[in-house]
Structure 1
Amino acid sequence: MTWEEVEIAKSQIYKLYSYPYANGVTVFIRDITQNRHQENEMKKLERLNLIGQMAAGISHEVRNPITTVRGFLQILQSRSDSAKNKEFMDLMISEIDRANAIITDFLSLAKANVDSTKMLNLNDIINRIYPMCQADAFNCNKEVLLDLGDLPELELNESEIRQLLLNLVRNGLEATPERGQVQIKTYLHGDSVVLAIKDEGTGIPPEVRDKIGTPFLTTKESGTGLGLAISIGIANRHNAKFDFVTGDCGTTFYVSFPLKKAIEEDLNKNK
């Protein structure tokens, strides 16, 4: 007996078994798409859990001395003889603040659960941050478009969903060429509310696709590689499915939030 895995159109994966005999061969085909997707999701969760444990252990030890250094720099700035070094001190404080921001992002990977949630409409959150997205797009000569469908309310943490949205939109703007567009779309699909953010970039390189969500993995010169990892963590904490489709004409990230009734049905099944 021999077997081989075959992937079709980047969406379906089959395992082919062949049994040769004297006058021919018998072939069995088994669809293992769901198994492979579940394995990939488990690998992503394991990576996030590992990074989260590291973050919880070292973040405070790193942040405390950084805060002390920043405090002394501010004291030095207030002295009358510091004017000639103001430019350098401003730069040092700016870099310290940047390091603190990275630590804050790193810490968010350690969270296992959403702090607090309430029933909210995803479209309302999108509309509240839309002016910020427009400003980001305007600064780089691009455009952010909305296509929002009628949605029921979801159990959400607004702060985390804002962060997820901004991460994905800014990621899309960075990938999109000048005068290009990033689209934010929402719609109802079965028992899920789907958020889709589409850019007009050149797509995710094949060698990176299986590693999407790995902290500190980035193809950008100035990126930290934490944005997508944080977004996936937020989706996981909301029991949402995170996925993407990519190609030469751009990438679309999908976040599918289960409706409350779907979550309750799953819980009842597992009792």
Structure 2
Amino acid sequence: MEGMLRFSEERFSKAFYYSPHSLSLCYLDSGKFIDANDSCLKMHGYSRDEFIGRSTLDLNLWVDMDERAKYLKDIKEKGFAHNHEVRNYKKSGEIFVALSSGVVIDLNGEQCLFVLKSDITELRQYQREISRLDRLNLISEMAAGIAHELRNPMTTVRGFLQILGQKERYIQDREHFNLMIDELDRANSIITEFLSLAKNKVVDFKKQNLNTIIKAIFPLIQADAMVTANYINIKLEKIPELLLDEKEIRQLIFNLVRNALEAMPPDEYLTIKSYLDGSEVVLSIQDRGIGIPLDILDKLGTPFFTTKDNGTGLGLAICYSIANRHNAKIEVKTSPEGTTFYVRFKISA
């Protein structure tokens, strides 16, 4: 019997330490970790010495304390919690999404909590991307038709306003006419941006190097940074040529850089990188702002959604459309220390 028990303990120990899933054990009352496998330590970004003997509160793991309260409510009322979707901080401050299940067990007369976690961050990002593309496709189908119908009457109105503004009897109203013309021009520029969302927009693909485009627009990016009293770092590695529409890639970089600069306080560095990652060329733009709130993160790239007083909400939507036309993918990683946008281009065969 003793031999069977020892064998069972050995099997549990191997299953615990070598499991690809995050497994941990903590005291129920204090929440302090008794043990954790390597998958758990890697998921959270801590060494064993940093993790064991501390609680989730000590480590500041919980992003949302309401999620913690619901999780503990199930543990106390049922003795277990099953597949709670939770958001946790890594040691680096990066947020990840996990499915967490826990069960109360007795360990040498002490009540403990055995926890299993699976990282579903990539799955949720993929689902967000599919949803975002669906929204973009719907709006892009509307864009071409609506833009044409709006532009025709606006052009007519603008023409008559110019004629009326030149007549002597309306000289006292000329300032008002000019204001109306300016507003029509502004509306027209928004329509032009709106048309950039159209998935059937004509693009001029040519084999060229992303680094060449970045270097060409670097002086303009530096000028933008000077306006916000910030600095630009570029770290460009050797990368292969891609099929790119230069005008569109310029617009994508400008939009991402300007968003990043607006997110940062003065005297900070924005870093632009290009590098090879397997079969992809990656453009990354990293700011040193305060991060993107979770409720806004899910809405990034939604046309006309903006948190700016004077924004149209089309800048990021256009970036996602450009990436889509280039068969590229945009990923976002955010933390209280800043946000990084990754644009991943597949290398042409």
TM-score, with normalisation over the residues of structure 1? 0.83
CA distance in 1, matches of 2:268, 2:150: 40
Pair 1:3 & 2:83 matched: yes
**Are the structure 2 counterparts of residues 258 and 248 from structure 1 closer, same or farther at C-alpha, using a change threshold of 3 Å?**
same
* Equivalent AA in structure 2 for residue 158 of structure 1: E
Q: Is the 8 A contact 2:221 2:257 kept in 1?
A: yes
Alignment partner of 1:260: what SS? coil
CA drift of 1:227 comes to 0.6
Distance 1:27 1:181 in 2: 40
RMSD: 2.9
Residue 253 of structure 2: aligned partner: 165
Match of 2:239 in 1: 151
Distance 2:226 2:122 in 1: 41
- Where do 5+ consecutive residues of structure 2 fail to align? 1-79, 105-112
2:167 is the alignment partner of 1:60:
no
SS in 2 for 1:204: coil
Inter-CA distance 191–199: structure 2 relative to 1 (3 Å threshold)? same
Superposition map of 1:108-187 within 5 A: 108-112=196-200, 115-187=203-275
- Residue 81 of structure 1, CA deviation: 6.4
Check if 1:95 corresponds to 2:183: yes
Distance 1:182 1:19, change over 3 A: closer
SS in 1 for 2:303: coil
SS of the residue aligned with 1:200? coil
Residue 113 of structure 1 deviates from its aligned partner by 6.2
Matched, 1:220 2:308: yes
The one-letter code of the counterpart of 2:347 is: L
Change beyond 3 A, Cα 1:58–1:73: same
Indicate if the aligned counterparts of 1:114 and 1:157 stay in contact, CA closer than 8 A.
Answer: no
Match of 1:104 among 174, 188, 192: 192
- Within the candidate set 314, 319, 341, 1:231 is matched to 319
* Distance across 2 between alignment mates of 1:28 and 1:51: 41
**Aligned partners of 2:289 and 2:123: how far apart in 1?**
30
Structure 2 Cα separation of the partners of residues 240 and 99 of structure 1: 30
Structure 1: distance between partners of 2:115 and 2:339:
36
Give yes or no for contact 1:114–1:238 (8 Å, CA) kept in 2: no
Is the Cα–Cα contact under 8 Å of residues 95 and 335 in structure 2 kept in the other structure?
A: no
Question: Secondary structure at 2:285's aligned position in 1?
Answer: strand
CA distance in 2 between partners of 1:184 and 1:71 (Å):
44
- 2 CA distance for matches of 1:14 and 1:223? 34
Contact 2:95 2:334 in 1 (8 A): no
Secondary structure at the counterpart of residue 218 of structure 1: coil
Matched, 1:200 2:288: yes
2:213 counterpart SS class: helix
Unaligned runs of 5+ in 1: 262-271
Separation (CA, whole Å) in 2 of partners of 1:66 and 1:118? 35
Identity of aligned residues (%): 51
Alignment of 1:43-82 (within 5 A): 43-79=131-167
Cα distance, 1:244 vs structure 2: 1.1
Using a 3 Å threshold, how does the CA distance of structure 1 residues 31 and 207 change in structure 2: closer, same or farther?
A: closer
Distance 1:85 1:136 in 2: 37
| SS of equivalent to 1:193 | strand
Counterpart amino acid of 1:135?
A: A
Deviations 1:95-154 (A, max 9, x none): 222111111111221224662311011111112222222222223333333222222111
Q: What CA distance in whole angstroms lies between the structure 1 residues aligned with 2:178 and 2:268?
A: 35
In structure 1, the partner of 2:124 is 36
**Hey, what does 1:266 align to over in structure 2?**
none
Structure 2 counterpart of 1:3, one-letter code: N
In 2, are the aligned partners of 1:167 and 1:227 still within 8 Å (CA)?
Answer: yes
Q: Quickly say closer, same or farther: Cα 1:151–1:203, change in 2 above 3 A.
A: same
Considering only CA atoms, is the larger Rg found in Structure 1 or Structure 2? 2
CA distance in 2, matches of 1:188, 1:112: 29
TM-score between both structures, scaled by the size of structure 2? 0.66
Contact 1:203 1:251 survives alignment (8 Å): yes
Distance 2:270 2:114 in 1: 49
